[in-house]
Amino acid sequence: MFAWIVRKLWGDLSPEEMKKFGMLSVICMFILGTYWLMRPIKDSLFSKIVGATYIPRAKMLSFVAVALLILVYSKLVDMYKKHQLFYIICGFYGTLFAAIAFMLMHPIIGTANTVASPDRILGWIIYLGVESFGSLTVPLFWSFVNSSTDATSAKKGFGLIIAGTQIGTIAGPTLATYAVELGMSFLATVVSIGILSVPVLVFIFTKIFPSSTVDAGTDKKRTGFTEGLKLLFSRPYLMGILGVATLYEIIGTILDFQLKFAAHETYHTAEQMTVFLARFGQCTNTIALIFAFVGTSFFIRRFGLTFCLVMFPTCVAAVILYAWSASSLWVLFGSMVAIKSLSYALNNPCKEIMYLPTSKDVKFKAKGWIDGFGGRSAKAVGSGISDSFGGVMANLIFYGSIISLGIVGFWILVALYVGRTNKKLTDSGQILS
């Protein structure tokens, strides 16, 4: 019975594939589960320590910070094997959040000080730390997966990874709903432990699947940390992936700021706001989990990659119109839940499949720029739009909706191009390098 269910949901996975993708789903579960515990902590602490009106500026600052980190990351790809990057990156962030947990208990630096000010550095460190962690570790994980997975196996197994991952992304915000009882410092400590668990799991995976540690890139000529950027601008297909991967972020950032600002006005402590945002994470990832079990792999196999790539922006357009027609805290809540859950359960797996007919340099270097620098620059654009209206929500909702619908139109055209090009590359067996 179980085997029949697996075949229906994810295709005919072999026992070895089940073991491999099952372990990968656990690794991703810890990465994204920890990240989703971070998210409500990040926004609530920043709003109460620095101020909610500074969120767009923090997003724009994170664009600069992540761009610099991507340069370092690209250099590390040349210097170390891919599994070793987890040891370096997760080791750094695990230590950082252990220090943050300690500083939150300080009577002046920490949460005991209820006077919000842009001069309070801890709030900026927390925000940039969480933003950069997601921008580096998630692309690293998918690059690690893509480098050892063929297209046929990926179409069956990626849905399983997403399904397992969503369990973690529900557990993370669920823990955050106890922020009032547990305290912010305790939650930051859990974040640190969760991050440091990732390299341990990767080490175990490499022992069971030793072929995953083979990295031919360490023997070739060093290409420099700007190679990914050169690849990106010299390949129209990669520029198309950039569009599919980042245009959504502009729209999502505009709606997200509306939600966070409304929540800041409604809830008066960091703990209360954390609980609300954690509920948002629970709803988003529960819906994504259900869709991952019954929809992700089925839609990709039944309707094809191009259909799925186009369906997502079409759904986003419908959500924008809904949020525009009846804007309130809970309408914004429902709108963000809808597009976030579809993004995680459908658009993200489709985006990763687009990298399969590409070389190692593309998977690691160009992808790092797309997911890190590209995603962050798109969020910076969305934040710039939000900041330009000076916190006047009525203007942001009206003009932001018009801008977002225009972006959706262009996004659909890009999705059509990328989907059709991917099919040509896959059918011909060509590897884009």
Give tens-digit pLDDT for 88-136.
999 999 999 999 999 999 989 988 898 989 999 999 999 999 988 988 8
Measured between alpha carbons, how far is 40 from 176 in angstroms, rounded to an integer?
7
Residues 6+ away with beta carbon under 8 Å from 192:
94, 95, 96, 97, 98, 101
Judge whether residue 404 has pLDDT over 70. Answer: yes
Contact between 431 and 421 (Cβ < 8 Å): no
| The pLDDT of residue 6 is above 60 | no
Find where tokens 């599994």 sit: 83
**Joined tokens for residue 405:** 């619908």
Q: State the pLDDT at residue 193.
A: 95
User: Is pLDDT above 50 for 217?
Assistant: no
CA-derived radius of gyration, the chain: 21
* Count of beta carbons in the 10 Å neighbourhood of residue 4: 8
pLDDT at residue 150, as a whole number: 65
Tell me the per-residue pLDDT of 133-161, one tens digit each, with 9 for 90 and over: 988 888 888 878 877 676 666 666 776 78
Global model pTM greater than 0.85? no
Say which range, 69-78, 185-194, 261-270, 315-324, has the weakest mean pLDDT.
Answer: 69-78
pLDDT average, residue stretch 260-279: 88
Instruction: Assess whether pLDDT exceeds 60 at residue 216.
Output: no
pLDDT, position 81: 82
Phi and psi (nearest 5°) for 65? -65, -45
Residue 224 DSSP symbol: -
Distance between CA 321 and CA 363 in Å, rounded?
36
Rounded CA gap, 334 and 159, in Å?
A: 24
State the average pLDDT over residues 194-213.
87
pLDDT digits (tens, 9 = 90+) for 23-61: 888 898 899 899 989 989 999 999 999 988 888 888 888
Q: What pLDDT, on the 0 to 100 scale, is given for residue 218? A: 43
**Interatomic CA distance for residues 184 and 167, integer angstroms:** 22
Q: Is pLDDT of 405 > 70? A: yes
- pLDDT tens sequence across 221-231: 454 556 777 77
Amino acid, single-letter form, for residue 410: F
How many Å apart are CA 10 and CA 161, to the nearest integer? 10
- What's the pLDDT at 430? 80
CATH code reported for the domain at 9-213+222-428 = 1.20.1250.20
